[in-house]
Chain A
Amino acid sequence: GAGVSQSPSNKVTEKGKDVELRCDPISGHTALYWYRQSLGQGLEFLIYFQGNSAPDKSGLPSDRFSAERTGGSVSTLTIQRTQQEDSAVYLCASRWGTEAFFGQGTRLTVV
């Protein structure tokens, strides 16, 4: 596609349920990032995939968070047993070369 696509754009879930957030990066981009952003705040790094290398998971806040990237393309961020503090916008970015391109994010609300 022309840009980074994230789905769903909005997700409301009950506390304790699992959620999956999807990111379709720009075709050919070898690097993929997930960030979390609380309302009007900065970008909190979660995880970074680069080609076939082991992902940098240093930003994942707890073991309830995991992500995978299949075939070097689509990535899924999974949050298990969601908590209210997980409510935020989850942004995905892909990169090849200098510039990172962002998707529009998934707004997750845990009620």
Chain B
Amino acid sequence: GQQLNQSPQSMFIQEGEDVSMNCTSSSIFNTWLWYKQDPGEGPVLLIALYKAGELTSNGRLTAQFGITRKDSFLNISASIPSDVGIYFCAGSPSGGYQKVTFGTGTKLQVIP
């Protein structure tokens, strides 16, 4: 079955630093999603990508849909303490009738 490898598994950064994490798939996806999970909460969608090569920003967050459709990355600029949490990528072959596969997560800690 499809697998999503997400890296790094965890990271500690200083407040104000930029962060980059990525996700690779063993097969092609036509939709990439990035979620954030705050402690004690369910994951919440940050960014959705629908087209190969697409670059989308949401505030300090930027995500890209890889050209090969097998990878995606998420960047966070000028990190702040509330960026702490677990970030998950997710992919789907297409729209709502195809199963979404989640990555293994990147745990982010921000040191004030």
- Chain A 19-42: CB-based contact to B (< 8 A → 1; otherwise 0): 000000000001101010000111
Q: Contact between B33 and A98 (Cβ–Cβ < 8 Å)?
A: yes
B48 within 8 A of partner (CB): yes
- Which A residues are CB-close (under 8 A) to B43? 43, 91, 93, 102
Q: Contact between A50 and B42 (Cβ–Cβ < 8 Å)?
A: no
Contact-residue size bin, chain B (C-beta under 8 Å from the other chain): 20 to 34
Q: In angstroms, how far is the closest chain B Cβ from the Cβ of A59?
A: 10
Q: Contact between B42 and A91 (Cβ–Cβ < 8 Å)?
A: yes
Given A93-B43, A100-B90, A104-B40: 17 more A-B contacts, CB < 8 Å: A4-B42, A30-B97, A35-B102, A42-B86, A42-B88, A45-B102, A51-B97, A91-B43, A93-B42, A97-B95, A97-B96, A98-B33, A99-B33, A99-B48, A101-B45, A102-B43, A104-B42
